[in-house]
Amino acid sequence: MEGILTINNVWMMICTALVFFMHMGFALLEIGLTRQKNTINILFKNLFIITVGLLLYCLLGFNLMYPGEFNGYFGFAGFGLDSPLVDGSLDLAYSEGYTYWTDFLFQGMFAATAATIVSGAVAERIKLNSFMVFVILYVGIVYPIAGSWKWGGGFLDEMGFYDFAGSTLVHSVGGWAALVAIYLLGARIGKFKDGKIGAFPGHSMPFATAGVLILWLGWFGFNGGSVLSADPELTSLTLVTTCLAAAAGGVASFIFSSILYKNYDITMFLNGILGGLVGITAGADQMSPTDAILIGAIAGVIIVMGVAFVDKLKLDDPVGAVAVHLICGIWGTLAVGIFGNMAGIDQFITQLIGVGAYAAFCIVTSFIIFYILKVTLGLRVSAKEETEGLDIHEHGMDAYPDFGLNQK
């Protein structure tokens, strides 16, 4: 028994490390798709999210998300971590797949991801102090409460709502907040001018590409670890469906965008891969390889249309976070009721109810947080700070000083 637990726990710790590595991927993707003058600002935000996110999850979030017996909507098991003990030692009967400490760390990596999604959407014009307050409230309180509804055994779990690794619980929770944020924040200067959509090319496509490949690698832990053990059948199937959906998303996205726009856009290719990954995440353990390819391919097409739709609404999303994480998160969640072992009208309706519940909760809470910040601290930097770059004004330094040119 202890030998099996050791194997399972080691696998879970490897997956935890892979999910942690995803934060490097997010950072590289975000700086690659934005302008050089805001690089340090984005890196700072990503570091803040993972460091403060882990501390908050330790002090508050873990016991909000996993409160034990509760009313299904809100529960709290107390501040800090208190590991279960037997005869003064860690209770190894806590789970067949992992120890209490591994459980906390694995789930903590997920918690920080929700705020990282928002970071990319609000890039290049949000005040750093306001963003940090948002992270504290959203990661510390909102995300864990939302997570308790399914993963903590809450009312959606009892209803039969299914989200294997977080198409809704992580990606849409971050995506709804990103949508609210960019609505309240407004577009970057020059993005929408005289009825035209201005282009702000990212300063490093190599960084962006490296970021996506790192995220794809990290998804082995994101989805593979969500099996919550080293079960050979489920983990191997999950990794296969994850990879196939990513590949199909990328291919479908670049083909569809090239038909529409008559060029091979690497940013669409990159976001298509991510869209496929987000789309498969809700049901990666339930799908056949063919199902995974279909889910990923549809997500790739959704990305292209989603990015265009967000632009049409005059909402400025520098990295395509709303299309990737929100729209594809919704698609992946609903796909559980269409494909795989759980397909059926009853399951589809249950999935739809779950999507609606998270939409309502996340829109209301994120709007309250951002609106209060807007009327108190302010959300947006000055026009001068935005034009000259947040690196100089917020941090007093340049990301690439040795080049001698401050590329705008």
Say if CB 37 and CB 389 are below 8 A apart.
yes
Q: What is the pLDDT of residue 89?
A: 81
φ, ψ dihedrals at 193, nearest 5°: -140, 130
Residue 169 lies in a domain: yes
Residue 63 CA to residue 30 CA, distance in Å, equals 31
Residue 36 lies in a domain: yes
| pLDDT score of 59 more than 90 | yes
Q: What beta strand segments (E) does 91-239 contain?
A: 192-193, 196-197
CA atoms within 13 A on the CB side of 144: 28
Strand 196-197 to strand 85-86: parallel, antiparallel, or no bridges (unpaired)?
Answer: unpaired
Confidence category of residue 235, pLDDT binned at 50, 70, 90: very high
Q: Quick: pLDDT tens for 244-262.
A: 999 999 999 999 999 999 9
| pLDDT score of 199 more than 90 | no
Residue 180 CA to residue 326 CA, distance in Å, equals 12
Q: What is the pLDDT of residue 352?
A: 98
Q: Which amino acid type is present at position 393? A: H
Residue 85 lies in a domain: no
Q: What is the pLDDT of residue 177?
A: 97
Q: What is the pLDDT of residue 1?
A: 57
Q: What is the pLDDT of residue 402?
A: 73
Residue 13 lies in a domain: yes
Say if CB 106 and CB 12 are below 8 A apart.
yes
Look at residues 64, 207, 217 and name the one whose alpha carbon lies nearest to residue 148.
64
Q: What is the pLDDT averaged over residues 176-187?
A: 96
Residue 126 CA to residue 119 CA, distance in Å, equals 9
Residue 77 lies in a domain: no
Q: What is the pLDDT of residue 404?
A: 52
Say if CB 244 and CB 296 are below 8 A apart.
yes
Residue 76 lies in a domain: no
Q: Which residue has the tokens 């399972």?
A: 8
Share of the chain above pLDDT 90, in %: 89
Residue 391 lies in a domain: yes
Q: Which amino acid type is present at position 397? A: M
Q: What is the pLDDT of residue 87?
A: 75
Residue 192: beta bridge partners?
197
Q: What beta strand segments (E) does 40-193 contain?
A: 85-86, 89-90, 192-193
Q: Quick: pLDDT tens for 1-39.
A: 578 899 999 999 999 999 999 999 999 999 999 999 999
Confidence category of residue 187, pLDDT binned at 50, 70, 90: very high
φ, ψ dihedrals at 186, nearest 5°: 90, 165
Q: Quick: pLDDT tens for 117-162.
A: 999 999 999 999 999 999 999 999 999 999 999 999 999 999 999 9
CATH of the domain at 311: 1.10.3430.10
| pLDDT score of 174 more than 90 | yes
DSSP string for residues in 173-238: HHHHHHHHHHHHH-PPTTSEETTEE-----S-HHHHHHHHHHHHHHHHHHHHGGGSS--HHHHHHH
Residue 26 CA to residue 6 CA, distance in Å, equals 31
Say if CB 131 and CB 119 are below 8 A apart.
yes
Q: Quick: pLDDT tens for 102-118.
A: 999 999 999 988 889 99
Backbone torsion region of residue 64, taken as left when φ is above 0, otherwise alpha when ψ lies between -120 and 50, otherwise beta: alpha
CA dist list (Å): 120 to 31, 60, 112, 253, 288: 9, 25, 13, 20, 32
Q: Which residue has the tokens 């282009």?
A: 199
Look up the pTM and report it. Answer: 0.95
Q: Which amino acid type is present at position 195? A: G
Q: What is the pLDDT of residue 353?
A: 98
Q: Quick: pLDDT tens for 351-407.
A: 999 999 999 999 999 999 999 999 999 999 999 999 999 999 999 999 998 765 554
Confidence category of residue 215, pLDDT binned at 50, 70, 90: very high
Say if CB 254 and CB 269 are below 8 A apart.
yes
The C-alpha R_g of the chain, in whole angstroms, comes to 21
Token pair, residue 356, equals 């609606």
- Structural domains counted in the chain: 1
Residue 406 lies in a domain: no
End-to-end Cα separation, the chain, in angstroms: 59
Q: Which domain, by its residues, includes 271? A: 2-70+90-400
Q: What is the pLDDT of residue 71?
A: 95
Token pair, residue 210, equals 């490296």
Q: What is the pLDDT of residue 403?
A: 65
Say if CB 212 and CB 274 are below 8 A apart.
yes
| pLDDT score of 225 more than 90 | yes
Angle CA 89–95–96, to nearest 5: 110
